C-alpha cells in the first residue's frame, strides 16, 4: 500500500512592486515571492478531497493584501508576517515556507544629486531570503544574495596545481579573476536589524574580494567567508558559490603584436564552479 511521504504545495513567482510614497522621497521595491505549505493534505492526494486545501490563487492574493498594510522594511520581516498570517488562519498547515528575491533599485543620480522619484536598476544583483516556520517552533531564517558580478584585474594567480598528461592550462602569476557571486547565510536569531546585518556582510565580502592576494578561487572564497563571519556575529555560517568566469589571453603574436595582459576574450562556458560552507569554530 503506497504511503504519502513528504509533500508541499504553493504559489511561485508572485510578482510584487511596492512604492513607499513619502512626502519628499519615494522608495521602490520589486520582489518575486514563493509560498510553500506543508500539512495534513493526505485526503486531497489519496481521495481527491480538497476541503483542507488553501488555493494557491488565495496565497497570491494574501501576498498583496498583506503588502498593502505591512510595515515591514525588508524581505525578512515581510516573510515573517506572511508566514504568521498563513499559520494563524489555516490550522491544517503544519509549516509554511516563504522565499523572496528582491531586485536592486537605486535612486537615479542626475545633475549631481539623487532624484527623489526616479530609479535605476542596479545591475543583476538579487537579494534573497528563505524563511521556514513549523507550527509551535521559531523561524529559521536564511538570507543571501546572488548574481553579484565581480572582476579584479590584479592580485590573482593560479600556480602549483596538479599536472597530468591531460593538463593544458598554463600556470598564471597574474590573471583576471571574474565571478558571479552567490552567498547565503543563516541567522542566529529571528529578531535582528536584517538590513544592517545584510549590508555589513555584503561590504565585508566585497572588501575581501578586492584586497585579497588570491592564489586560487578557493583561497579567496575562504578569505571572504572569514571576513563575513567576523563582520556579522549574528550569523552562524555562510555558503559561497563562485563560478570562475574565465577571460582568456588572446595570442596576438601572429599579427606581430605582443599582449602583456591587455587583450582577452571572455568565456562563459564551460566555467569552473567553486563552493564552500564555512561555519564558526567551537
Three cell numbers written together for 200: 555589513
The single residue of 11, 60, 80, 99 carrying the catalytic annotation is 11
Q: Please pick, among 60, 80, 99, 246, the residue that the annotation labels catalytic.
A: 246
73 is annotated as an active-site residue: no
Which cell numbers in the block locate residue 30?
A: 520589486
- Smallest CA-to-CA distance from 158 within 218, 223, 241 is with 218
Q: Helices H, strands E: what count in the chain?
A: 5, 8
First-residue to last-residue Cα distance in the chain:
46
Q: Evaluate whether 275 touches 250 at the Cβ level (below 8 Å).
A: no
CA angle 184–185–191, rounded 5-degree value: 130
Residue 219 designated active-site: no
262 is catalytic: no
- Interatomic CA distance for residues 87 and 170, integer angstroms: 57
Catalytic-role residue among 26, 52, 56, 219? 56
Active site residues: 11, 56, 246
Amino acid at each position: 500500500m503506497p504511503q504519502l511521504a513528504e509533500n508541499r504545495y504553493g504559489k511561485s513567482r508572485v510578482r510584487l512592486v511596492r512604492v513607499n510614497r513619502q512626502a519628499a522621497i519615494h522608495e521602490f521595491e520589486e520582489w518575486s515571492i514563493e509560498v510553500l505549505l506543508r500539512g495534513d493534505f493526505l485526503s486531497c492526494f489519496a481521495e481527491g478531497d480538497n476541503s483542507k486545501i488553501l488555493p494557491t490563487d488565495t496565497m497570491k492574493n494574501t501576498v498583496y493584501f498583506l503588502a498593502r498594510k505591512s510595515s515591514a522594511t525588508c524581505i525578512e520581516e515581510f516573510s515573517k508576517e506572511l508566514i504568521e498570517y498563513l499559520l494563524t488562519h489555516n490550522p491544517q498547515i503544519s509549516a509554511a515556507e516563504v522565499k523572496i528575491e528582491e531586485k536592486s533599485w537605486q535612486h537615479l543620480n542626475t545633475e549631481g544629486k539623487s532624484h527623489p522619484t526616479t530609479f535605476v536598476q542596479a545591475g543583476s544583483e538579487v537579494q534573497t531570503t528563505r524563511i521556514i516556520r513549523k507550527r509551535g517552533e521559531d523561524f529559521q531564517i536564511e538570507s543571501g544574495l546572488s548574481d553579484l558580478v565581480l572582476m579584479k584585474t590584479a592580485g590573482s594567480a593560479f600556480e602549483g596545481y596538479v599536472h597530468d598528461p591531460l593538463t593544458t592550462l598554463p600556470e598564471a602569476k597574474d590573471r583576471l579573476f571574474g565571478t558571479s557571486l552567490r552567498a547565503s547565510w543563516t541567522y542566529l536569531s529571528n529578531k535582528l536589524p536584517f538590513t544592517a546585518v545584510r549590508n555589513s556582510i555584503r561590504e565585508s565580502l566585497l572588501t575581501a574580494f578586492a584586497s585579497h592576494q588570491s592564489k586560487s578561487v578557493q583561497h579567496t572564497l575562504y578569505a571572504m567567508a572569514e571576513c563575513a563571519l567576523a563582520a556579522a556575529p549574528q550569523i552562524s555560517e555562510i555558503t559561497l558559490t563562485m563560478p570562475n568566469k574565465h577571460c582568456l589571453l588572446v595570442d596576438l603574436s601572429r599579427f606581430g603584436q605582443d599582449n602583456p595582459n591587455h587583450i582577452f576574450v571572455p568565456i562563459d562556458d564551460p566555467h569552473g564552479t567553486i563552493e564552500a560552507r564555512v561555519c564558526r569554530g567551537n
